[in-house]
A and B are shown apart, each in its own frame.
Chain A
Amino acid sequence: MQADRKLLNELTPELVHTSTKWYVTFFIFLAFFAVGIYALILQIDKGHIVTGMRDNVVWGFYIVNFIFFMGLSYSGALISGVLHLFHTGWRKPVIRMAELITVISLVIGPFFIFFCIGRLDRLHFLFIHPRIQSPITWDVIAICTDLVGCFIYLYLSFIEDFAILRDFSELNVAPWKKKLYKIMSLGYSGTEKQRKLLLNARTIMAAMIIAIAIIVYSVLAWIFGVTLQPGWHSTIFGPYFVIAAVFSGTGLLIILMWIFRKVYHLEEYITKRHFVNVGVLLTIIAAFYGYFTFSDYLTKWYGSIKMDSILIDKLFNQYYSLFIFANYIGILLPGIIIAYPKFRTIRNITVAAIIALIALWVNRYIIVIPTLETPFLPIQDFRSDWIKYSPTWVEWALTLAGVSIFAMLFMLVSKIVPIISISEMQERDQNEVMK
């Protein structure tokens, strides 16, 4: 299968050459990851006493990270699925990043559940003694289903590129990579029948992963929503979580676009137009996300249920800074930066995306922790450290390890396949020629 030589020459050098900067960056992430592994060994050896989690706050950083990474994954699926289905013209340079966000986050996210479980030796009970009534069982089924679906979708989008790379004789990569391209391309040569089969499969899977992403993230939200805990028992938690996930994923997509554009010199492919388009998407989602946030807290505040009132009081006092950052600055600032054409530069849009991403993580934190710090029944023999959560270095280390492995996997994948889909770009070029 042949591809445009210019495209191949510009998008494949990263598969062949690896710079010193790449190695240095990779080893920095690897060091963070190693610290995380040490923290994990310590946690397994000593137990959860090395974390800040106690009798009341049994969900800490780990669950926050789990929700966050799963959100990134579902948003990646939603964004790539929608862009593919609607044949959005500008999607091509960014769609692969969205697809990779989906799969990599989905692989990392569930590990935080494992860190949170006190008795990992009973993990298999979830599979051998499942109860369909349990939202935890729904989550296990949903995540497994989503994982398979996302891998199939990602693989479908890779086949054409594998075939192009297989047939690119001047590509001077390691023999194992050539062998990999050959096996993974399934002998695809771009015949009419193969094209049709692949397009149908991709279209159906694009639609499927949108549906799965919505259902799966709603299931995750229902784990909170079906409890009677203050702040969680909400009917809008499903759509609220989905919108929040897309918000964070869009932010991450902008950040990755900026990084790969800068590092791999893709200025010609990832242009300001792409940043503005994804930025506008971020602004629109920020508006929806802000609406859901306001609606959720307004109804709780107006309802004046005792425990909800205590929680809201806590959010506006003890968690004031985090609450304002997550729900005001994190929502309004990206909107303001992107809404005004004067501020709409690549750097500003990226800064807005970073703020949005951090704010969303903080939002997850103030959804999980303050509720658990607001128990219905006061515990006897009250000690502040039993009820007040404070993350330890072990939790910070494992959080940073999660971010590091995300970065490392992205870096490694970018060494096997181009970070911009050659086949998608070629299609664009052909369309432009036709025009």
Chain B
Amino acid sequence: MKKYLPKILFLISLVTLAIVPSQSQEKSKITPYFQLQYFKVNDQEAYLKSTLSYSMNRMEIPLPGMIISFFAGEAGNEPLASVITDEKGVAKVALGSDTKLPLNGDGAWSFRSEFKGNDTIDGADSELAIRNVTLEMTLSEVDSIKKIGLKAYTLQNGKEVPASEEAVIVYVPRMFSLLPVGEASLDENGTATVDFPSDIPGDEKGNITVIARFEENPNFGNIEKSVTEKWGIPTSYSVPTTHRALWTKTPPMWMIITLSILLAGVWGHYFFAIISLILIKIDAKRKKDKDEFLA
């Protein structure tokens, strides 16, 4: 046995070397993260959005330039469009008012998006069933208290069916993101009221945009309704003109004075040294002339 041990070890090494690359090749194929979402803004702009990405070192890396196919219908086989993902790995399909979408047995729209995959990335698909909800928002003021009235319903056989027990979040857009100002759960009538804070700055006229949203709702998707009203505190955003600051074209006076004094002081002494050199040269010439004259 001892005699054959090196040969056995050599064979095991060869087999290992042959297996490891094939495993690593299989592993190198990316399993993507694929998501389908539905969005509707102010009952007008509706669209489907698919995001294709993968995870590396716990970071989400987008997959741009991939073809995503969108379908509608209960069987998910009625093609809507094929879209190439952008640099964020996102593909969008607008659902115009003229797009005829078939309803499934539950009275909802069925959507499906699909990525077929390629040599390096696995294929993936995602499905979604959405009820067409209408979100209404009315702004009123009762006893100096600003109130946001919310109502949501779906239409079934031409009748309004309240969207009860669903969460709606109210936002106000700020400089970098949306500021949440209230949240409500719709009652059995599909209605809710949210008090609006009285201390939110608006534009110069006090205008402020109030946004109500269903977010990632499993029945309705992402629905947004926005209304602009003079509910904010009028705020002037004009920046006073600044002169002679570090960030303007003209430097501060103290900086110019300090630099001038420093440079004048230093270069003044340089000139003194240079003049001394010139005087040495002149004196040397005089001495030479004198010596020549005496000689």
B131, chain A: closest CB distance, angstroms: 36
Cβ-defined contact, A201 with B273, below 8 A: yes
Q: How many residues of B contact A (CB 8 A)?
A: 30
* The one of B266, B274, B276, B279 that contacts A208, using a Cβ cutoff of 8 Å: B266
* The one of A145, A198, A205 that contacts B263, using a Cβ cutoff of 8 Å: A145
- Which chain A positions have C-beta within 8 A of B273? 152-153, 156, 201, 204-205
Cβ-defined contact, B280 with A194, below 8 A: yes
Task: Please judge, given known A-B contacts A141-B263, A201-B276, whether A191 and B283 are in contact too, CB under 8 Å.
Answer: yes
Cβ-defined contact, A152 with B274, below 8 A: yes
A193 to B281, CA, bound (A): 11
Q: Which of A51-59, A91-99, A181-189, A266-274 contacts B (4 or more CB under 8 A)?
A: A181-189
Cβ-defined contact, A132 with B255, below 8 A: yes
- Which chain B positions have C-beta within 8 A of A194? 280, 283-284
Closest chain A residue, CB of each to CB of B246: A133
- Which chain B positions have C-beta within 8 A of A132? 251, 255-256, 259
Cβ-defined contact, A380 with B59, below 8 A: yes
- Render B234-259 as a binary contact track against A, CB cut-off 8 A, 1 for contact: 00000000000011010110011001
- Which chain A positions have C-beta within 8 A of B284? 186-189, 194
Interface size for chain A: under 10, 10 to 19, 20 to 34, or 35 or more residues? 20 to 34
A45 contacts the other chain (CB 8 A)? no
Interface residues of A (CB under 8 A from B): 131-133, 138, 141, 145, 148-149, 152-153, 155-156, 159, 186-189, 191, 193-194, 197-198, 200-201, 204-205, 208, 211-212, 215, 380-382
A212 to B267, CA, bound (A): 11
A152 to B272, CA, bound (A): 11
Cβ-defined contact, B270 with A149, below 8 A: yes
- Which chain B positions have C-beta within 8 A of A208? 266, 269-270
Cβ-defined contact, A381 with B59, below 8 A: yes
B230 contacts the other chain (CB 8 A)? no
Sample of 24 A–B contacts (CB below 8 Å): A132-B251, A132-B259, A133-B251, A133-B252, A138-B259, A141-B263, A145-B267, A152-B270, A152-B273, A153-B273, A156-B273, A156-B277, A159-B280, A186-B284, A187-B285, A188-B284, A191-B287, A200-B276, A201-B277, A204-B272, A205-B269, A208-B269, A382-B57, A382-B59
B61 contacts the other chain (CB 8 A)? yes
Interface residues of B (CB under 8 A from A): 57, 59, 61, 246-247, 249, 251-252, 255-256, 259, 262-263, 266-267, 269-270, 272-274, 276-277, 279-281, 283-285, 287-288
Cβ-defined contact, A133 with B255, below 8 A: yes
A318 to B255, CA, bound (A): 41
Cβ-defined contact, A186 with B277, below 8 A: yes
Closest chain B residue, CB of each to CB of A146: B266
Task: Please judge, given known A-B contacts A133-B246, A208-B269, whether A193 and B283 are in contact too, CB under 8 Å.
Answer: yes
B238, chain A: closest CB distance, angstroms: 24
Say whether chain A's binding surface is mostly helix, strand, loop, or mixed.
Answer: helix
B30, chain A: closest CB distance, angstroms: 15
A146, chain B: closest CB distance, angstroms: 9
- Which chain B positions have C-beta within 8 A of A153? 273
A174 to B45, CA, bound (A): 90
A126, chain B: closest CB distance, angstroms: 16
Cβ-defined contact, A198 with B280, below 8 A: yes
Query: 5 closest pairs, A vs B, by CB?
Result: A187-B284, A201-B276, A132-B251, A201-B273, A186-B281
A307 to B283, CA, bound (A): 64
Task: Please judge, given known A-B contacts A132-B259, A145-B267, A381-B61, whether A197 and B246 are in contact too, CB under 8 Å.
Answer: no
A189, chain B: closest CB distance, angstroms: 6
Q: Which of B251, B256, B288 has most chain A Cβ within 10 Å?
A: B251
B271, chain A: closest CB distance, angstroms: 10
Cβ-defined contact, A197 with B270, below 8 A: no
A194 to B287, CA, bound (A): 11
- Which chain A positions have C-beta within 8 A of B59? 380-382
Cβ-defined contact, B266 with A212, below 8 A: yes
- Which chain A positions have C-beta within 8 A of B281? 186-187
A190, chain B: closest CB distance, angstroms: 10
B252, chain A: closest CB distance, angstroms: 8
Closest chain B residue, CB of each to CB of A200: B276
A205 to B262, CA, bound (A): 15
A359 to B284, CA, bound (A): 49
A224, chain B: closest CB distance, angstroms: 17
- Which chain A positions have C-beta within 8 A of B287? 187, 189, 191
Closest chain B residue, CB of each to CB of A208: B269
Cβ-defined contact, B280 with A197, below 8 A: yes
Q: Which of B246, B280, B283, B287 has most chain A Cβ within 10 Å?
A: B280
Instruction: Give 12 A-B pairs besides A186-B284, A208-B270, A382-B57 with Cβ atoms closer than 8 angstroms.
Output: A131-B251, A132-B251, A141-B259, A145-B263, A187-B280, A187-B287, A187-B288, A191-B283, A204-B273, A211-B266, A381-B59, A382-B59
A153 to B249, CA, bound (A): 36
